Structure formats: C-alpha cells, structure tokens
Amino acid sequence: MKKIVYFSAIICLFVGCQAQKKLVSVDKETNEIVLKQGQSCEIEFITNASTGFWWQLLNEDEVHIVKSAGDRYTSDAPKGMIGASSHRFWKFEAVEKGTQTLHFVYARDNVDQPARTRDVTVTVK
C-alpha cells in the first residue's frame, strides 16, 4: 500500500511540474513573449473594477496565433473593500506559428480615450 501511495505522489508531482513548464510569463520590460505551439502564457494586469475601468483586448478578432484560455482575478484587499486594486491574469494558448501584437486598453465602455494601453507582442514558433 505504501508503494502505491509513494508512486502516486511521484506521478502527481511529475504531472504538476510538466503543467507548470507549459505556462510562460511575459517579459515585463519588453512586453514580449515567445511560445511553442501548445504552450500557454498568462498576462497580468493591475485593475480596479470599482472605478468602472477594466482591461479589454481590442483586436481579439484579428488575433489567430493564440486563443484566449480564460482569466482569473486575485486581490490582497480585505473582502468587500471598495476601491482596492486587484490583479487580472489573462491566459492564452499558442495555436499557430507567427508573430502578432495583442492590443489591450484600460477603459470604460462609454469613454473614447482609454486611461492606459498595453501592447504585448507574441511569437509562436
């Protein structure tokens, strides 16, 4: 029985490590990322939903080398605290070779000028 538990733990550790290797981070200085097909990346944004602003991907219909694989929010603020910033992590999966730029804006729907913009250049090899 101990051998089965030990073997199962090793398998879980190995699978977990493999999953971690596939998630690649964006270079924060250059806003560039290089992926292999099948790899995933997460792009982090600082946001504050209580202001009515949020990050949006403007050219989603034009991007074909990566596809959105979901997003998640985290916050260090106490629950229910209004006005505190949070972190949005937008996950993408590499599906086709090439280079494209993802154009993000931090804006409200009814505002012509975004408060911030961010371009992330993605290369899939």
- What does 38-105 look like in DSSP terms, one character per residue? T-EEEEEEEE-GGGT-EEEETTTTT--SEEEEEEEEE--SPTT-TT--EEEEEEEEE-SSEEEEEEEE
Q: Is the pLDDT of residue 114 over 50?
A: yes
pLDDT given at position 108: 87
φ, ψ of residue 58 in degrees (nearest 5): -75, -40
pLDDT digits (tens, 9 = 90+) for 72-111: 988 878 877 777 888 999 999 999 999 999 999 999 877 7
The yes-or-no verdict on residue 22 having pLDDT over 50 is yes
- Per-residue pLDDT, 48: 84
For residue 85, what pLDDT is reported?
84
Query: What distance lies between CA 114 and its chain's CA centroid?
Result: 20
Confidence check: pLDDT of 11 > 50: no
Indicate the pTM of the whole model. 0.75
| Top-confidence residue, 26 or 34 | 34
Domain boundaries, the chain: 25-124
Query: Could you tell me if 112 and 88 are in contact, meaning their C-beta atoms sit under 8 angstroms apart?
Result: no
Class of domain 25-124: mainly beta
